[in-house]
Amino acid sequence: MSTRVEGREITLAQAINEALHEEMRRDDHVIVIGEDVGKFGGVYKLTEGLYDEFGAARVLDTPISEAGITGVGLGAAMTGLRPVVEVMFGDFLTLAMDQLANQAAKVRYMSGGKLQAPLVIRTLMGAGRRIAAQHSQTLYAWVSHIPGLEVVVPSTPYDAKGLLKTAIRNNNPVVFFEDKMMYRTTGNVPMGEYVIPLGVADVKRPGDDITLIANSSMVYVALEASQRLAADGISAEVVDPRTLTPLDEGTLIKSAMKTSRCIVIDEGYQRFGASAEIAAVVAHGAFYHLDAPVERIGAMDVPIPFSPELEDLTIPNPETVVNLARKMVRK
Amino acid sequence: MLTAKKTSRDETRQEPSYDRETLLQLYHQMQQIRLFEERVVDLYTRALIPGIAHVSIGQEAVPVGICAALRKEDYITSTHRGHGHCLAKGAHPDRMFAELFGKSEGYCRGKGGSMHIADPETGNLGANAIVGGGIAIATGAALSAKLQKNGRVAACFFGDGASNEGLLHESMNMASIWKLPVIYVCENNQYGEYTRADEVTGGDLVERGKAMGIASEHVNGMDVLLVLRAALQAVKRARDGGGPSFLVCETYRYLGHGMSDRDRPYRERSEEDAWRARDPIQRLDDYLIQQKIATQDELKKIVEQIHHELEEAVEFGKASPLPKPEEVRFDVYAS
């Protein structure tokens, strides 16, 4: 990991919870809106403690109305507040999509810059929880497609905290994806105040022979693959874009130019997915430096099945990455 | 044939006393909207306005009556048929025409057009081309006003069509549980695009609001004074912490859904004539004369002045520069 700072080991869930506490203390205009986020503290306990500290006026338990709460958050954002809306599962973004894609994303542009929507939508992604086809999808490609939205996909507690704080302070609508399987992932987080700008990729492991571009949970797949590859004498560089919009194209291209090979690993569906966009960016930008076509490994293009036996087949794994990388490097 | 729902107010109409200035302002605004939109029809027909436009001729009493009860800093959200809402809330015809022409001095610098005019300076959070798309935004603005304790209220305009969108149900429920200062204003112009509203709407809309615990009533949307009276009550309720209101204003779209809908084959001319006989502007005109509040001559002068202003506004719009090509990338994100 590139970021080594004095701090303590906390989980990704704690990091997000800390970011929410700190931003709500820092700015009275920050409110949290969502289903079960108040008294109950959130389905995954991400908002625990907020209700006790900030009260019902700033931590709003809502009805189960994803479109409504997204739109209410937007209206509040357009009139001076900085709402953080929790959409309990990323799969439920479908219900909120008009408010996100047609309203929040476009209000600044359509008004010629006179209105703005400093809104954060926190939602989930990621398979592996054995909760089947409607609670396991990774749908960040959908929102990354829409101009006007920013899309954050953190992989570590450090990144999650710093990026969420930036997202809350930023004046654009941001969709913030948390992998439900990573909430207990621990990492070093400094005690003090820090923020991470959107649009800055992070090299999670330096290497020379091949670039593995991965975000969120796939960073860990890439890191495990790179360890195994190291045993074969293949040096893999793991680059985490951290945000899909804005996308730090320069860092991704630079890495691929250096290593001359690149695999994009994505927990979203492979077909028309984020991996396709990133691969296109790298293939174009690093073209004259590449020794192999840019490859992609995405989630299998099937609805996510319930049976653990089947579900695990749909998610990219280190084995697949290692095999493909070996073939590409031919060492 | 459709007729507007009779409300108790039709029979027992008692005018609260409004001063002459208020009454003439109501008259001015309704005339301004109608004459503005008549010019829109003319300019569109002559291919001077690109795209599409939806006019609300016949419905003027609703935006004017509602906005007369609001303060400048109060919020509104509007619809694809929203010119009247913008004007009633205080927008200037010159920058509106510039927007309709796609010019850089338009309210949205030419990026919004007829269906998206927004003017935060007058509390207008924008017209919305997704049917029902602004309902949650208005509800959120009301939440914001309540949390910031700034005393503002939000008026949410939408049509009978939007009444059947799920977002209204979700939003009204939140407004009810949180007692938000929002006024849901359904402009029931009897048609959702090309289909009669009563053919696609189950039950009575007012009952839907009541079922959520929201003060709800039918309002004669062809009488600006009745709309204003209902609006004043609703605004007072909102400012006093009494929560939301739902006003179902019965009105009529004299023209078609859009500019291409000229023949209106889905309804009888006799039905249109019956509604035109209840014209909201003529009604106020008659009232002002009968009550000796204004003379025919004074009203004529108001109309002439509006014509003059609109003539200048159209010229302003025409003369406004086109947006520069580089502006296409501006304002996608905060800089």
Per the structure block, which two tokens stand in for B223?
A: 């009488």
Q: Residue B14's pLDDT is what?
A: 54
User: What chain A residue is nearest to B131 in terms of C-alpha separation?
Assistant: A98
Number of domains in chain A: 2
Which of B168, B173, B174, B328 to mutate against chain A (most A CBs within 10 Å)? Answer: B174
DSSP B14-53: ------HHHHHHHHHHHHHHHHHHHHHHHHHHTT-S-S--
Q: Are B137 and B125 in contact (CB under 8 A)?
A: yes
SS3 (DSSP) at A269:
strand
Quick check: A92 pLDDT over 80?
Answer: yes
Q: Is A168 on the interface with B (CB under 8 A)?
A: no
Nearest beta carbon to residue B144 from set A76, A147, A170? A76
Which of A61, A69, A114, A121 to mutate against chain B (most B CBs within 10 Å)? Answer: A114
CA dihedral A281→A282→A285→A290, nearest 10 degrees, is -150
Which of A27, A33, A99, A109 to mutate against chain B (most B CBs within 10 Å)? Answer: A109
The pLDDT tens digits for B268-277 are 999 999 999 9
Residue showing tokens 């293009």 = A301
The DSSP call for residue A98 is I
Quote the CA–CA distance of A155 and B40 in Å, as a whole number: 53
Q: Is the Cβ pair B136, A99 closer than 8 Å?
A: yes
Quote the CA–CA distance of B251 and B259 in Å, as a whole number: 19
Same domain, yes or no: A209 and A181 = no
Q: Is the Cβ pair A113, B145 closer than 8 Å?
A: no
Question: pLDDT-based confidence at A330, cuts 50/70/90?
Answer: confident
What residues make up the domain containing B63?
A: 19-313
Cβ–Cβ contacts within 10 Å for residue A193, how many?
9
Q: Is the Cβ pair A71, B110 closer than 8 Å?
A: no
B3 within a domain of the structure (yes/no):
no
A195 within a domain of the structure (yes/no):
no
Q: Are A108 and A71 in contact (CB under 8 A)?
A: no
Which of B135, B172, B332, B335 to mutate against chain A (most A CBs within 10 Å)? Answer: B332
Same domain, yes or no: A215 and A266 = yes
Q: Provide the total of helices (H) and of strands (E) in chain B, helices listed first.
A: 12, 8
Q: Which stretches does DSSP call E strand in chain B?
A: 75-79, 124-128, 154-159, 182-188, 191-192, 195-196, 215-220, 245-250
A27 within a domain of the structure (yes/no):
yes
Q: Residue A128's pLDDT is what?
A: 95
A225 within a domain of the structure (yes/no):
yes
Quick check: B2 pLDDT over 80?
Answer: no
Residue showing tokens 């796939």 = A218
DSSP A291-315: SS--EEEEE-SSPPPSSHHHHHHHS
Q: Using alpha carbons, select from A318, A9, A49, A312 the residue that is nearest to residue A181.
A: A312
Number of domains in chain B: 1
Same domain, yes or no: A110 and A250 = no
CATH code: domain of residue B143:
3.40.50.970
Same domain, yes or no: A208 and A60 = no
Q: Is the Cβ pair A60, B178 closer than 8 Å?
A: yes
A4 within a domain of the structure (yes/no):
no
Q: Which residues of A touch B171 (CB under 8 A)?
A: 68, 71-72
Same domain, yes or no: A102 and A13 = yes
CATH code: domain of residue A274:
3.40.50.920
Q: Is the Cβ pair A79, B140 closer than 8 Å?
A: yes
Q: Is the Cβ pair B136, A71 closer than 8 Å?
A: yes
Q: Is the Cβ pair A71, B135 closer than 8 Å?
A: yes
Nearest beta carbon to residue B137 from set A69, A71, A172? A71
Quote the CA–CA distance of B30 and B23 in Å, as a whole number: 11
Quote the CA–CA distance of A301 and B43 in Å, as a whole number: 51
> What is the percentage of chain A residues whose pLDDT exceeds 90?
97
Quick check: B9 pLDDT over 90?
Answer: no
A270 within a domain of the structure (yes/no):
yes
CA A72 to chain centroid, in Å, comes to: 23
Same domain, yes or no: A184 and A209 = no
Same domain, yes or no: A73 and A16 = yes
Same domain, yes or no: A104 and A183 = yes
Helix axis angle, B224-239 to B280-290, nearest 10°? 100
DSSP A100-159: IIIIITTHHHHTTTS-----EEEEEE-S-SS--TTS----HHHHHTSTT-EEE---SHHH
**Average pLDDT over every residue of B52-58:** 96
SS3 (DSSP) at A251:
helix
Q: Is the Cβ pair B173, A63 closer than 8 Å?
A: yes
Per the structure block, which two tokens stand in for B293?
A: 């509040």
Q: Is A68 on the interface with B (CB under 8 A)?
A: yes
Question: What ipTM describes this predicted complex?
Answer: 0.95
User: What chain A residue is nearest to B102 in terms of C-alpha separation?
Assistant: A112
Quote the CA–CA distance of A119 and A76 in Å, as a whole number: 9
Same domain, yes or no: A185 and A246 = no
Catalytically annotated residues of A: 135
A258 within a domain of the structure (yes/no):
yes
Quick check: A266 pLDDT over 80?
Answer: yes
The pLDDT tens digits for A94-126 are 999 999 999 999 999 999 999 999 999 999 999
Q: Are A241 and A278 in contact (CB under 8 A)?
A: yes
Same domain, yes or no: A242 and A143 = no
B331 within a domain of the structure (yes/no):
no
Quote the CA–CA distance of B135 and A19 in Å, as a whole number: 31
**Alpha-carbon separation of residue A101 from A93, A94, B81, B186 (angstroms):** 10, 10, 21, 25
This prediction has a pTM of: 0.95
Cβ within 8 Å of residue B268, ≥6 positions away: B1
The pLDDT tens digits for B290-319 are 999 999 999 999 999 999 999 999 999 999
A47 within a domain of the structure (yes/no):
yes
Residue showing tokens 């820090």 = A194
Cβ within 8 Å of residue A167, ≥6 positions away: A120, A150, A152, A174, A176, A198
Q: Is A217 on the interface with B (CB under 8 A)?
A: no
B318 within a domain of the structure (yes/no):
no
Q: Residue A6's pLDDT is what?
A: 72
**Average pLDDT over every residue of A29-33:** 98
Q: Are B60 and B33 in contact (CB under 8 A)?
A: yes
Helix, strand, coil tally for chain A in percent (to 5): 40, 20, 40
B11 within a domain of the structure (yes/no):
no
Boundary-marking domain end, from A190, A224, A248: A190
A97 within a domain of the structure (yes/no):
yes
Boundary-marking domain end, from A157, A190, A223: A190
Tell me the sheet residues that pair with B182. Answer: B154
Q: Are B330 and B112 in contact (CB under 8 A)?
A: no
Quick check: A30 pLDDT over 60?
Answer: yes
SS3 (DSSP) at A84:
strand
Quick check: A233 pLDDT over 80?
Answer: yes
Q: Using alpha carbons, select from A155, A199, A158, A203 the residue that is nearest to residue A179.
A: A155
Q: Which residues of A306-315 are buried (b: 16+ CB within 10 A; e: fewer)?
A: eeeeebeebb
* DSSP H or E segment with residue A66: helix A66-78
What residues make up the domain containing A72?
A: 9-190
**Average pLDDT over every residue of A128-155:** 97
Q: Residue B335's pLDDT is what?
A: 84
Q: Residue B37's pLDDT is what?
A: 98
Q: Which residues of B touch A111 (CB under 8 A)?
A: 107-108, 111-112, 116, 118, 120, 126
Q: Which residues of A touch B147 (CB under 8 A)?
A: 31, 57-58, 76, 81
CATH code: domain of residue A49:
3.40.50.970
Same domain, yes or no: A212 and A133 = no
B116 within a domain of the structure (yes/no):
yes
The pLDDT tens digits for A184-221 are 999 999 999 999 999 999 999 999 999 999 999 999 99
Angle in degrees, CA A78, A86, A249, rounded to 5: 80
The pLDDT tens digits for A156-188 are 999 999 999 999 999 999 999 999 999 999 999
Nearest beta carbon to residue A110 from set B126, B144, B145? B126
Q: Number of Cβ pairs closer than 8 Å across A and B?
A: 141
Q: Are A302 and A310 in contact (CB under 8 A)?
A: no
Same domain, yes or no: A39 and A145 = yes
